[in-house]
Copies of this chain bind each other. A is one copy, B any other.
């Protein structure tokens, strides 16, 4: 069997049609869209068409779309930019304990500039309670930032309801939709959001490109200085092939959304089912409100990273903790926020399924997980300890 890729929450393969759309811009259409000549104008036209297309898919206007170098930059621009723009009105920001570091660390870093940050807890499934958001609102609250769907445990947050609460209180609402776009119907109108970040490589687009949506009339200070690109909001020559590829990938993702969701949910449930049939395994995240491809399971007495490596030897790519922090030794802040023990958190492994996975791969994976878990447990000082008790 070929190698099996089940780490689509870390990144996805680039869709062939997206690459095809990029090729002319990697070859003959190399102009700088800021240039006034034909080479430049041709590229400008393609960029603006992509902006219109993506705006339309998100339920937004083209003028509300700013291209960035990825999800992290979009999150930083939204949070820091909005906070600084509104600091005359207030200095209180609300976020949650399960955010990606691109949001959580950015909010916390703002404390050094005098902002006050409330980090809301989550329940055992990683869910934020909209009532907690309402209770946390203060007169000086200027921004709420909540992720649409969690990258580690896949829990889908009640962003619509939080959006309503934000709207009622006249507070800006930012969502990190990096994991949601391509997996859920994301629309800025139905979700009541003012700011939204996405990243192309999470929905089969290219790496190094993303987008920030900023609702018309929302003031956001720019973070970097330079040329006047993106109406002065995001200086620097644009990643043109990236932008074009992102547009095509998004178009495909939206057109196949229902079909892909159904397929992936059924694969996901088969994998979850099989894992939970093993001894002392526990599903992390929400039992039903979860991303269609997310499987996050803790196996007691072993370490997720060891399981990951063992599966890698069997040709299966998974993740323990989020990709970005897999180099660090701390258990996932997301799992810890759901209230589990460090030992259980360290036993977590995440499979994030994608378009390309098959039933055969799921069944092979289940077999491999069983073998690996057994082997690692037989080596574990904790498992032994348990036998002795």
Query: Within residues 78 to 120 of chain A, which ones have a CB less than 8 A from any CB in chain B?
Result: 100-102, 105-106, 108-109
A25 CB to closest chain B CB (Å) equals: 8
Q: Which residues of B contact A238 (CB under 8 A)?
A: 207-208
CB neighbours (8 Å) of A10 from chain B are 31-32, 34-35, 40
Contact status A37-B237, CB under 8 Å: no
Let me know if A72 is at the binding interface, CB within 8 A.
yes
Contact with B along A62-85 (1 / 0, CB 8 A): 000000011111011000000000
Number of copies: 2
- Interchain CB contact under 8 A, B326 and A34: yes
When chains A and B are docked, how far (Å) is the Cα of A171 from the Cα of B323?
Answer: 38
Q: Which residue of B lies closest to A223 (CB)?
A: B223
Question: Is there an interface contact between A102 and B236, defined as CB atoms closer than 8 Å?
Answer: yes
* Complex partner residue of A237 from B76, B199, B312, CB under 8 angstroms: B199
Chain B residues within an 8 Å CB radius of A28: 13
Say if the beta carbon of A30 comes within 8 Å of chain B: yes
A1 within 8 A of B: no
Using known A-B contacts A14-B30, A39-B7, A323-B35, determine if residue A69 contacts B305 with beta carbons closer than 8 Å. Answer: no
Q: Which B-chain residue is minimally distant from A13 (CB atoms)?
A: B30
Chain B hits for A327, CB < 8 A: 34, 228
A207 to B101, CA, bound (A): 27
B37 and A11 within 8 A (CB)? no
Is A381 interfacial (CB 8 A cutoff)?
no
Q: Known: A14-B27, A208-B242, A241-B206. Contact between A228 and B73, CB under 8 A?
A: no
Nearest residue, chain B, Cβ from A39? B317
Interface contacts beyond A102-B235, A207-B240: sample of 11 additional A-B pairs, CB < 8 Å, sorted by A: A7-B37, A36-B319, A37-B312, A37-B317, A38-B312, A69-B70, A70-B237, A72-B227, A72-B237, A108-B225, A208-B242
Going nearest first, the 4 A-B pairs with the smallest beta carbon separation are: A208-B239, A227-B324, A72-B236, A102-B226
